[in-house]
Amino acid sequence: MADSALHLLQPEQLDADGLKVLNPANGSVVATVRRFDVPELETIIEQAEAARHPWAARTAKERSDVLRAWYDLLRENAEDLARLMTLESGKPLDEARGEVRYGAAFVEWFSEEARRAYGEVIPSHASDKRVLTLRQPVGTCAAITPWNFPLAMITRKVAPALAAGCSIVVKPANATPLSALALESLAHRAGIPAALFRVVPARSSSQAGDLFCTHRLIRKISFTGSTEVGKVIMAKAAGQVKRLSLELGGNAPFIVFDDADLDRAVAGAMASRFRNAGQTCVCANRFIVQAGIHDAFVERLGAKVAALRVEDGLDVDATMGPLIDQGAVERVAGLVETAVREGAAIANEAPVVPASGAFHRPVVLVDVTTDMEIAHEEIFGPVAPVLRFSDESDALRIANDTPFGLAAYVFTADAARQWRMMEGLEYGMVGVNDGLISTEVAPFGGIKESGFGREGSSHGLADYMNIKYCLLGGL
Ligand code: SIN
């Protein structure tokens, strides 16, 4: 029997012959959704372009009010949105509830920011001239979003785009289109014009991506996903010099100094590494732990990991769910196997893990060294590799020795060292004595091969606006 949370979807979003959405906890079909092919996408982009002009002509307050109405509907339907998300992504219901709150917070934030897209009057270089800037919407945008946060990765692109006066077409991940479609249907119920924000599961992801990169009406693409695909988008979009925001892969270091508060460091490690079963771009990917605290840290972390309840995300006790699919399980198992062959050892007792479904046991690996594959690969699974270091410069060198630069974490009680690390870590985001850095009020984004552009905060709105400089002469 169909799940009651599916009432959030509209009949026109479903199609019995369409894309099958599977529950990773048991492989069952949750729903079958409509897919769009290239000619349909072209029409949708043209409609989005036509819709953006009257939308941008509304006052900022009017746009803000409609976004606020969308936020209210997200909050009213939070429980069903969370259930839908657990069904398609596997994450425990409590985490899904957290993501609905997190995702809705971007809509609330940008409904407020819509009214603060200020231009400037700049003191002039000449007495008969005035210099000013206007901020104007970029135009019609496209977004390509991942399966690991099927709701929040959409609201943090769509809400600033709409607040700025843009239109936006979103291609969600094939594994998790249901949260995206529910967002779309609630947005339309809230009064966001239908053509202004569309969610389009694609018949062919690569063809949809190519179309976004080459369609003359698309002025900006925002992508969250792998560095590999981000580079392809960057190359293809270069043909029309499209504006881009790329939130790509990471290899986050999590540094623990001898003077760290051990309880805090372990709690931060659990939150950072095992949230969403480790399938997060900002997850701690390498634990770099000073020799004096190493054994105590590993022992405490191992005990917490052994106590995880790995179950179907809908089970009330679940603290970790399945991975997204069987392919992900095999990839993670392969990384662990290689690490053990290269000399690492598993340091924790394994919790009981369901025999069927896309589950992988959570693992703490010790004796990991910088030359091992696991120290360089983005794991995207519940595995915590622990490396040992001796002094601060050693820690910084290991942490920065990667082409990625998304998030980094450091645990130390020494205030001067906190500053040195904040300044020395070559990352877009640094968490000090905390493993959870994500919030709508802060600029989320990376440097180096982790991408560019910022989501959340006032910078998130600026990413959907052009600055136009105007000179008023003859005064
Ligand atoms: C991501 O994994 O890409 C985003 C995680 C977050 O927003 O915390």
Q: How far is the CA of 268 from the centre of ligand 1 (A)?
A: 16
| Active-site residue identified among 141, 166, 213, 281 | 281
> How confident is the model over 217-238, as a mean pLDDT?
98
Q: What is the pLDDT of residue 44?
A: 98
**CA gap 92, 86 in Å, rounded:** 6
Q: Which of 99, 247, 311, 449 is catalytic?
A: 247
CATH assignment of the domain containing 241: 3.40.605.10
User: Which numbered atom of ligand 1 lies nearest the CA of 438?
Assistant: 8
CB-CB neighbours of 190 under 10 Å: 18
Pair (319, 459) in one structural domain: no
Cβ 224 under 6 angstroms from ligand 1: yes
Mean of pLDDT values over 7-21: 97
Residue of the nearest CA to atom 7 in ligand 1? 438
Contact indicator for 140, 167 with CB cutoff of 8 Å: yes
Contact 227 CB / ligand 1 (< 6 Å): no
Q: Which atom of ligand 1 is nearest to 444's Cα?
A: 7
Which atom, in ligand 1's list, is nearest to the CA of 281? 2
pLDDT at residue 273 greater than cutoff 90: yes
Atom of ligand 1 nearest to the CA of 224: 3
Q: From the CA of 133, how far away is ligand 1's center (Å)?
A: 33
Tell me if 438 CB under 6 Å of ligand 1. Answer: yes
* 58-72 residue pLDDT tens: 999 999 999 999 999
C-alpha 224 – ligand 1 centre gap (Å): 9
- Closest Cα to atom 3 of ligand 1: 281
Same domain, 437 and 460: no
Q: Is 156 helix (H, G, I), strand (E, B) or coil?
A: helix
Residues 235 and 275 in one domain: no
In this structure, the answer to whether residues 162 and 267 fall within a common structural domain is no
Q: Which domain holds residue 329?
A: 252-448
Q: Are residues 144 and 193 in the same domain?
A: yes
Contact (Cβ atoms closer than 8 angstroms) between residue 198 and residue 162: no
Ligand 1 close to Cβ of residue 155 (< 6 A)? no
Same domain, 240 and 297: no
Residues 330 and 455 in one domain: no
121 and 33, same structural domain?
Answer: yes
Condensed to tens digits (0 to 9), the pLDDT of residues 82-128 reads: 999 999 999 999 999 999 999 999 999 999 999 999 999 999 999 99
Claim to verify: residue 363 and residue 398 sit in the same structural domain: yes
| Residue to mutate, 99, 273, 280, ligand 1, most ligand atoms under 8 Å from C-beta | 280
Question: Is 182 in the same domain as 256?
Answer: no
Measured at the alpha carbon of residue 377, what is the angle toward residues 89 and 371, in degrees to the nearest 5?
155
Which atom of ligand 1 is closest in space to residue 283's alpha carbon?
2
Residue 285 CB–ligand 1 contact under 6 Å: no
* Cα(444) to centroid(ligand 1), Å: 9
Closest alpha carbon to 429 in 398, 404, 412: 404
Under the banding of pLDDT at 50, 70 and 90, the label for residue 48 is very high
The helix-helix angle for 177-190 and 78-89 (nearest 10°) equals: 160
pLDDT at 2 (0 to 100): 79
Taking the centre of ligand 1 as the mean of its atom positions, its distance from the CA of residue 97, in whole angstroms, is 15
State pTM to two decimals.
0.97
Query: How far, in Å, CA of 32 to CA of 13, rounded?
Result: 9
Max CA pair span of the chain: 78
13 CB less than 6 Å from ligand 1? Answer: no
Average pLDDT (241-254) is 98
Per-residue pLDDT of 141-184, as tens digits, reads 999 999 999 999 999 999 999 999 999 999 999 999 999 999 99
DSSP assignment of 206-275 equals HHHHHHHHH-TTEEEEEEES-HHHHHHHHHHHGGGT-EEEEE----EEEEE-TTS-HHHHHHHHHHHHHG
Nearest CA residue ID for atom 6, ligand 1: 438
Q: Is the pLDDT of residue 1 over 80?
A: no
Rounded to the nearest whole angstrom, what is the distance from the C-alpha of residue 252 to the centroid of ligand 1? 12
Q: Are residues 242 and 258 in the same domain?
A: no
Radius of gyration of the chain (CA): 23
Distance 280 CA to ligand 1 centre (A): 5
pLDDT in tens, 349-396: 989 999 999 999 999 999 999 999 999 999 999 999 999 999 999 999
- The response to whether residue 192 sits with its C-beta less than 6 Å from ligand 1 reads no
CATH number at residue 350: 3.40.309.10
pLDDT at 229 over 80: yes
pLDDT tens column, 71-90: 999 999 999 999 999 999 99
Q: Is the CB of 281 under 6 A from ligand 1?
A: yes
97 and 26 co-located in one domain:
yes
Please tell me the distance from the alpha carbon of residue 193 to that of residue 199, in angstroms, as a whole number.
13
Is 120:447 a contact under the CB 8 Å cutoff? no
Query: Do β-strands 167-171 and 451-452 pair in parallel, antiparallel, or remain unpaired?
Result: unpaired
Active site residue 247: yes
Structural domains of the chain, count:
2
CB 23 within 8 A of CB 87: yes
Q: What is the mean pLDDT of residues 424-452?
A: 98
Residue 149, ligand 1, Cβ within 6 A: yes
pLDDT computed for residue 6 by the predictor: 94
- Across residues 418-437, what is the average pLDDT? 98
**With a 6 A CB cut-off, is 282 part of the ligand 1 pocket?**
yes
